[in-house]
Amino acid sequence: MNTFLYIIKRILNAIPILFIVSLISFFLIRLSPIDPLAQMKLNPAISQETIDKETKRLALDKPIYIQYFRWAKNFISGNMGYCIDNIKVTTKLKPRILNTLLLSLSVISLSWIISIIAGVLGAVYYNSVYDKILSILTSAGMAIPSFFFAILMLLFAQKTGLFPIGGLTNVHFSQMNLFSKILDILWHLALPVFVLTTISLSSITRQMRANMLDVLDCEYIKFAIAKGLSKRKIIFKHALRNAINPIITMLGFEFAGLLSGAALTEYVFQYPGLGKLLLDAVMQSDINLIMAGLMIGTIMLIIGNLLADILLKLTDPRVGI
């Protein structure tokens, strides 16, 4: 019951945040000197009717606060308007959201598994050769710009021919059977996932190592050692459980960083994700798409944070709101 109340409270907390974000994103873009329909008006393929409909939908002839409420109402009901190439925003967004989720989730799960193991080992074998190599590697991983790393990986893919250069699917994708379709996607995912994992891995590993060192220094661990428990039991049953909590809090931040880092990586690899879509939209000043993309990104982030908090509540009942 307690947990349930906590979740409800957290969701209620997210509502004002979403409201403020919508205000920020709406007024930022609307107050900029870009005419939201300029691109549409220039496109001869778009009829005057569509433009009139958009003008009415966005209430462009009315004062700005009415425009905001109209936009917010439309957004909540799922009507996000049209892109400059006359495709519905929602049709464009849907596959992109899935692709970005696919990328981020595989990165998060991979980097978590690796970094928890690597971090624990780093703490257990503190100051050993392994620990030193680990700290060098993680510092390097934190310092390399994601897009630069992605470029180097592209170079690697080109020189060896082991991996495809960019995109998510092969040209013959539609003719493949299910199994080779999955293989094809995994093959295309490999490099972007590798780049993003290396980068997010580094900070989590460092954090994990530091937490583990803190916990291993606690009295109850010393007691467990004195009691004669096996090393494995001490580490996995007693130390790890306590050391992992701050990492769960980091999950939310990681997700935020991932969405940002992914935008550049997606751009370099030409991966059809949300970040790439938003970038393209920004380059073409496609207002509807920008606002929708920004809001969806924010919602994804808030949900990510929410999930992290709930997970933390489940593992550590002491957490209050």
Rounded distance between C-alpha atoms, residue 97 and residue 290, angstroms: 14
At 88 the three-state DSSP class reads: strand
**H helix runs in the chain, sequence order:** 2-30, 38-42, 48-58, 64-76, 89-124, 129-143, 146-160, 178-216, 219-227, 231-233, 240-243, 245-269, 274-283, 287-315
**120 is written with which tokens?**
């624990």
C-alpha torsion angle, residues 310, 313, 315, 318 (rounded to 10): 170
Which of 129, 178, 226, 283 contacts other proteins by CB under 8 A? Answer: 283
- Which one-letter amino acid corresponds to residue 40? M
Please list, in sequence order, all residues whose beta carbon lies within 8 angstroms of the beta carbon of residue 54, skipping any fewer than 6 positions away. 37, 40, 60, 81, 82
By the rule CB under 8 A, 36 interacts with other proteins: no
160-176 per-residue burial string, b: 16 or more CB within 10 A, e: under 16: eeebbebebebeeeeee
Residues 192-251 binding other proteins (CB under 8 A) are 210, 213-214
216 in Cβ contact with 276 (< 8 Å) = no
By the rule CB under 8 A, 152 interacts with other proteins: yes
By the rule CB under 8 A, 128 interacts with other proteins: no
Which of 97, 110, 142, 311 contacts other proteins by CB under 8 A? Answer: 142
Which of 1, 2, 4, 16 contacts other proteins by CB under 8 A? Answer: 16
User: Considering beta carbons, is residue 25 or 111 the nearer one to other proteins?
Assistant: 25
Residue span binding other proteins (CB under 8 A) among the ranges 56-64, 85-93, 157-165, 225-233: 157-165
Q: How far is CA 121 from CA 128, 168, 194, 208, 241, in A?
A: 10, 35, 21, 10, 15
Rounded distance between C-alpha atoms, residue 121 and residue 5, angstroms: 37
By the rule CB under 8 A, 45 interacts with other proteins: no
By the rule CB under 8 A, 161 interacts with other proteins: no
What mask of x and - would describe binding to other proteins in positions 54 to 93, judged by CB under 8 A? Answer: ----------------------------------------
**47 is written with which tokens?**
């009829």
Which of 118, 124, 278, 308 contacts other proteins by CB under 8 A? Answer: 278
- Residue carrying the six token digits 């997970």: 311
What sign for the dihedral angle of Cα 239, 196, 301, 100? negative
As measured in angstroms, the least distance from the Cβ of 3 to other proteins is 22
Residue span binding other proteins (CB under 8 A) among the ranges 15-23, 44-52, 53-61, 86-94: 15-23
Which of 1, 2, 4, 33 contacts other proteins by CB under 8 A? Answer: 33
Applying CB under 8 A, the site for other proteins has a residue count of: 54
User: Considering beta carbons, is residue 79 or 139 the nearer one to other proteins?
Assistant: 139
By the rule CB under 8 A, 305 interacts with other proteins: yes
As measured in angstroms, the least distance from the Cβ of 132 to other proteins is 10
Binding site for other proteins (CB under 8 A): 16-18, 20-21, 24-25, 28-29, 32-34, 126, 139-140, 142-148, 151-152, 154-155, 158-159, 165, 210, 213-214, 256, 259-261, 263-264, 267-268, 275, 278-279, 282-283, 285, 290, 293-294, 297-298, 301-302, 305
